[in-house]
Structure 1
Amino acid sequence: MAVVTAKWTIEDYHRMIAAGILANRQVELLNGEIIEMAPEGTPHAAYSQEAGDYLRSILGRRAKVREAKPITLLNSASEPEPDIAIVALHPIEVYLQHHPYPDDIFWLIEFSDSSLSKDLEEKSRIYAAAGIREYWVINLRIMKLIVFRSPVDGNYQSSITLETGTIAPLAFPDLSISIDRLLGRSTG
């Protein structure tokens, strides 16, 4: 007889959170499974904080920059917590009702070292299946930015790796984001 793992729904997950079952646990829901998140090392924390501050300064009032907060992907029973989510500027009442849905998300960013394979594989597929147009992974091992775009059938059709220069996100093609700033090479 095959062993079948029970999958959790987003509603189950929210009930566990409300009941305090997951209190003091760093977890996220991925494809119906509650996954422990790796502890955040100092480089990860420093780079993601600097990038969040930088993105806030250049986006201004065009989008909200959420750091390490949940997003809800109903189609995959997933509620991951990306390092940075650039989302629509809805009134607070909207985000009091639910975490950002895919239609609210402009792009996502993960800073990755110990979780690199999970971020490049599992999370990439989850985000593509949810229709997230753009997903960036900053590989802290080799200090490069990997940009995924054009989700089709659960996979991104485009992937490029950058280590310098600038990039314009799909949602804001008039912006010029410094890759050096994202990689912590320049704070000017």
Structure 2
Amino acid sequence: MKTLAKWSVNDYHCMIQAGILRDRHVELLAGEIFEMSPETPIHYSTAKRGAKYLENLLTGQADIRFNGPITLSNSEPEPDIAIVRLPESNYSDRHPAPDDIFFIIEVAHTSLKKDLELKTSIYADANIPEYWILNLSTKEIIVFRYPQNGHYTSVETIAEGTITPLAFPEVQVSVKQLLG
């Protein structure tokens, strides 16, 4: 019987510093190193447009990170968009950690299964308060909220209207604007 070796975040950082993962588009998820799928044009443009839109909505309230890593206990995923605490200078020598994160957005086109299963579990386990998946196939946003014991206790699918992020009750995010 084969046993899979799990990597720690520290192991992963050492591999990066040693150049072992140079020229590899990878992320650490639940102790395993995964090759990231190439981004389709619609995936990239939706994520970039969404980050710009949220940056305008949340100016002075949050830092909007686009395609950047976050550091969790046994994972270092690279969500499409991470909405994190200010000031941005907090992240000069480290990536945002769970206590820094207001919510995360993943854009799903070819990655829906991984985003719905593996990443939902990882983000809930890290107690990320809110996680949105922009499902490009159905033009819907799946909103996960209130993590408890490694699972989100609220899941809602929204196809139109607005979403109010938990951390910003005065902000209305347009579903249409986010989905493009």
Q: Distance in 2 between matches of 1:155 and 1:84?
A: 21
CA offset at residue 133 of structure 1? 0.4
- 1:85-105 Cα offsets, whole Å, 9 max, x none, are 00001351x312311000000
Equivalent residue letter for 1:62: Q
- 1:104-128 Cα offsets, whole Å, 9 max, x none, are 0000000001110100011000000
1:17 equivalent in structure 2:
16
1:69 equivalent in structure 2:
68
1:177 equivalent in structure 2:
173
Alignment of 1:1-188 (within 5 A): 2-74=1-73, 77-92=74-89, 94-184=90-180
Normalising by structure 2, what TM-score? 0.98
SS in 1 for 2:53: helix
Percent same amino acid among aligned pairs?
A: 52
Q: Work out whether residues 135 and 141 of structure 2, in 8 Å CA contact, stay in contact via their aligned partners in 1.
A: yes
Runs of 4+ in 1 over 3 A off after TM superposition: none
How many residues align? The count is 180
Q: Work out whether residues 63 and 88 of structure 2, in 8 Å CA contact, stay in contact via their aligned partners in 1.
A: no
Root mean square deviation of aligned Cα: 0.8
SS in 2 for 1:55: helix
- 1:31-68 Cα offsets, whole Å, 9 max, x none, are 11000010000000111111111000010110000011
CA gap of 1:27–1:58, structure 2 versus 1, over 3 A, is: same
Normalising by structure 1, what TM-score? 0.94
Q: Distance in 1 between matches of 2:88 and 2:120?
A: 29
Q: Distance in 1 between matches of 2:47 and 2:109?
A: 12
Gaps of 5+ in 2: none
Gaps of 5+ in 1: none
Q: Distance in 2 between matches of 1:174 and 1:146?
A: 20
